[in-house]
Amino acid sequence: MHARPADESSSRGTPVDPVGPLISCVLFGYYGFFAGLLTTDNSGATVPLFVAFVWTLRVAAILFAACACMSFIPVRRGELWAGLAGVIATAGLLGILIWDALDNVYQVACPTWLLAILVIWNGFTSVRALRDTLR
């Protein structure tokens, strides 16, 4: 009996696990679309920090939903897109974290420590997914 060499099509023909993108989609989507986060202050003025935070969550939820749908297609690119979506979401959240730290007037609805944990965890898993995909 001879061992068959692993050809490229067999490794690229397996679907990607949709659980990670689905969990991210649900979390980001809930807070971005359904949690009722305000984009104005008490006087009714629009706060750019709040708008950026809400839209970062919404865009990330949409990207992760697309990645979850792509994970059902037997193409290795689904994992690549999930990693890229995670990096984009991480960059957005990192920008919000820095902006929130520099703003002395307003603070986003999410505690700074929780936002930092989200940035670290999302960044770690996204970079790991990209690294594993691009090997």
| DSSP letter assigned to residue 7 | -
Instruction: Encode the chain (135 residues) as per-residue pLDDT tens digits.
Output: 454 444 444 444 445 678 888 998 999 999 999 999 999 999 999 999 999 999 999 999 999 998 888 877 766 677 788 889 999 999 999 999 999 999 989 999 888 999 999 899 889 988 988 888 888
What is the pLDDT at residue 15?
54
- What is the distance between the alpha carbons of residues 81 and 92, in angstroms, rounded to a whole number? 16
- How high is the pLDDT of residue 5? 46
Give the per-residue pLDDT at 134.
85
- pTM of structure: 0.79
Q: Under 8 Å CB-to-CB from 97, ≥6 apart: which residues?
A: 112, 115, 116, 119
Can you give the pLDDT at residue 75? 66
Cα 5 to Cα 12, 13, 76: the distances in Å are 14, 15, 19
